Amino acid sequence: MNIRVLTLSTLRQPQSVSVIIPARNEETNLKKLLPSLLNQSVKLHEIIVVNDDSEDRTEEVARESGVTVVKPDFLPSGWLGKPWACWNGANHSSGDLLLFLDADLTLEKDAIERLCSEWESSGGIISVQPYHQMNSASERLSSLFNMIVMAAMQCFTLFRKKPAGAFGPCLLIDRETYTKIGGHEGIKHQVLEHMEMGRVALSQHVKVTCFAGYDAVYFRMYPEGLKSLFYGWCKSFALGSSKTPLLPLILSVAWITGGISLTLQLPFLVFQEFSEVVVWCIFYILYMIQIKLLMRRVGTFTFLSALWHPVHFLFFSMVYVWSFVLSAIKKEVKWKGREIPVSEKGDV
């Protein structure tokens, strides 16, 4: 299976692009993202950082870079933080195209040119799951999550149909379409606001195209350590699976179940017949090869990550179970100091 990645063709009619960055305590990340935006191959109409009640130097870093800073009013009842920040940024912008970026991204010099080129070809919404750069062993535990997210959004050629929604870290949409589908106001209460925006767009016959950020858009996820990574994925994963199209969901569940089954058999191999051990080894190697091939376009996963895939399956299982507990039983998730009540559908 191949993964759809951003390509570059000559822009026929370059549009004015407003970049909108919702930022809550993103001082460190903005020091990386803003220089990459100021060095793009296409001239940006404006860069807007929305200071979402930050307690660090987020606003100062943004102003020092010479970009526009927006400070929204107090979070209204019924709104979640990120949709409110994006909505305020969009209302303060004036470009033809709106590019919503998470603060932890870094872009290649021609990344926005590629995004605009894809939008000229397809229209609607262009969304990108960034290429995952990892510098620690704990960060590499995100491998299965990244691949399953890609499958759910149908970036693999096997699932080249309508996606389940849109990716959140990098989303490009024209102003007319944004207004037509209700923008972030229509999804103000959604924990997975990006996925829901894509679903709303598709329901109104707006095309949504999802890409991998390989060689164009990068990020690091949860570099703070294992605790941050665990709760970060718990925040949304069980909710996301409930909105995944049936075919990718069935195939993903079957694939994950196979991997977990291999993992659970590992301690009992010493009690098995030689032929059974050989069969187990064959499936183990097949999983290892497949994971390694898929990883190369998803992130900087090493060969050891593929070799030790049972560890990844065990970690995935723990995260998924706790994510289900949070969303279906406790009906509450906590992120960046805020407690967010949710139902099984992701509503407040």
What is the model's pLDDT at position 193? 87
Q: Which amino acid is at 116?
A: C
pLDDT value for 345: 46
For the chain, 348 residues long, give each residue's pLDDT as a single digit of tens: 556 778 777 666 678 999 999 999 999 999 999 999 999 999 999 999 999 989 999 999 999 999 999 999 888 998 988 999 999 999 999 999 999 999 999 999 999 999 999 999 989 999 999 998 888 888 888 888 888 777 767 666 554 567 778 998 999 999 999 999 999 999 998 877 888 999 999 999 999 998 888 889 999 888 778 888 887 787 766 556 556 666 666 777 788 888 888 888 888 888 889 999 999 999 999 999 988 887 877 888 778 888 888 888 888 888 888 877 776 666 666 655 556 665 544 444
pLDDT of residue 154: 66
333 bridge partner residues? 340
Burial of 12 (0-12, 13-18, 19+ CB in 10 A): exposed
214-243: buried (b, 16+ CB within 10 Å) or exposed (e) per residue?
Answer: bebbbbbbbbeeeeebbbbbbbbbbbbbeb
* Spatial separation of the C-alpha atoms in residues 109 and 111, rounded to whole Å: 6
- What is the pLDDT at residue 257? 85
Q: Which amino acid is at 339?
A: E
Quick check: 80 and 191 in contact, CB under 8 A?
yes
Instruction: Give a three-class secondary structure readout of the chain.
Output: CCECECCCCCCCCCCCEEEEEEECCCHHHHHHHHHHHHCCCCCCCEEEEEECCCCCCHHHHHHHCCCEEECCCCCCCCCCHHHHHHHHHHHCCCCCEEEEECCCEEECCCHHHHHHHHHHHHCCEEEEECEECCCCCCHHHHHHHHHHHHHHCCCEHHHCCCCCCCCCCEEEEEHHHHHHCCCCHHHCCCCCHHHHHHHHHHHCCCCEEEEECCCCEEECCCCCCHHHHHHHHHCCHHHHHCCCCHHHHHHHHHHHHHHHHHHHHHHHHHHCCHHHHHHHHHHHHHHHHHHHHHHCCCECCCHHHHHCHHHHHHHHHHHHHHHHHHHHHHCEEEECCEEEECCCCCCC
Output the pLDDT for position 67: 96
What pLDDT, on a 0 to 100 scale, did the predictor assign at position 335? 57
pTM passes above 0.75 = yes
Q: How far is CA 9 from the centre of its chain?
A: 25
What is the C-alpha to C-alpha distance for residues 278 and 135, in angstroms, rounded to an integer? 34
